[in-house]
Amino acid sequence: MSENGAAVLDVKDLRTVFETGQGAIHAVNSVSFDLKPGELLGVVGESGSGKSVTMMSLIGLLGTTAAIVEGAHVNFDGMDLLKVSEDDLRAVRGAGIGFVFQDPMTSLNPVFTVGFQLMEPLRNHMGMSKAAARSRAVELLELVGIADAEKRLSDYPHQFSGGMRQRVMIAMALSCDPKVLIADEPTTALDVTIQAQILELMKELRRKLGMAIVWITHDLGVIAGIADRVMVMYGGQIVELAPVIQLFENPQHPYTRALLQTVPSVRGSRTERLRVIEGQPPILFSPPQKCSYSARCNHAFDRCLSADPKRIRIADGHDVACFWDPETGGPRDE
């Protein structure tokens, strides 16, 4: 939805369906967004809102039970990733689009050294010799702040702490100089000290390398400090998309407002209970026929129960999919 400058990644009408024993699950529903060079796009929402499935759909990382509904387009570097061959898509993974997974212990192979796992994509994607790949692997470990990098190449994943394993995953994702880095909750399992180090590392790498980053998280506090724009997802849809300051100062969707209210505050009474969003995200056995959030929304009215709101532009760079207007407290003028 960018208006200024060419997008490095442009997604149009992405819809992903999973076939299960209980029926088809419509996990991603008409998602459209773009990513500008050097931009950091935060993607937020509860577990089950479609964040990870959306990003994994882009580069074919879902299993055989998943299918992309015809009509979608994922344009990257002059090609539609949904129409290229598996070999071409494999070449894009790592070389064009890097992916940092949520759990580094399950993403790294425990039977191979860290050096082998770092060098493999360099040799496969970049055609480097073994010596050149080893030298580059050392540079990458140093880049992400791992001491004694040459020596650590011979170590196995279990010999690294959780924070160090996550740094290794980031190094692997950066190994082929991708234009886009997708980070799927990369700091969730880490303590706050290591989390802060990883966040500073990503800021530094972004400055040095100028790559575009998609940061998937449920932590709005993290997003406030690193993102340029924020994409709020619910029910496999984008319910709000806005510049980060605008989203925090003037949230338009009831779900965004509810998420912001759940963020702990350092002010106020210590006896006040943390707020929660009552209910659970929907399991969609059919494409949305009404507002997916209506069952949990305090502002829902008749139209919300009979039609699925489409995203509309309400301000410069600020889109929302909601029939309710927080300015008037009533229905939004179309």
Radius of gyration of the CA atoms of the chain, in A? 21
Tell me the C-alpha distance between 187 and 194, whole Å: 8
Same domain, 162 and 249: no
Q: For strands 180-184 and 97-100, give the pairing.
A: parallel
Is residue 233 helix, strand or coil?
strand
Residue 151 lies in a domain: yes
Residue 4 lies in a domain: no
Same domain, 132 and 166: yes
Interval 71-102: pLDDT, tens: 999 999 889 999 999 999 988 988 899 998 87
Residue 190 lies in a domain: yes
CA 121 to chain centre: 22
Same domain, 182 and 43: yes
Residue 309 lies in a domain: no
Same domain, 161 and 89: no
Per-residue pLDDT at 1:
41
Domain enclosing residue 80, as ranges: 9-96+178-265+274-289
Tell me the C-alpha distance between 280 and 15, whole Å: 21
Same domain, 231 and 182: yes
Pick from 72, 35, 51: nearest CA to 179: 35
Same domain, 204 and 281: yes
Residues of the chain with pLDDT under 50: 1-3
Pick from 173, 175, 181, 177: nearest CA to 104: 173
Same domain, 125 and 183: no
DSSP 273: P
Interval 197-223: pLDDT, tens: 778 878 887 888 888 999 999 888 889
Q: What is each CA distance from 306 to 180, 293, 324, in whole angstroms?
A: 38, 12, 14
Tell me the C-alpha distance between 62 and 66, whole Å: 6
Residue indicated by tokens 């400090």: 225
Per-residue pLDDT at 63:
85
End residue of a domain, out of 154, 175, 196: 175
Per-residue pLDDT at 2:
42
Pick from 73, 9, 75, 74: nearest CA to 36: 9
Please report, for the domain that includes residue 254, its CATH number.
3.40.50.300
330 CB-near residues (< 8 Å, 6+ apart): 324
Tell me the C-alpha distance between 240 and 234, whole Å: 9
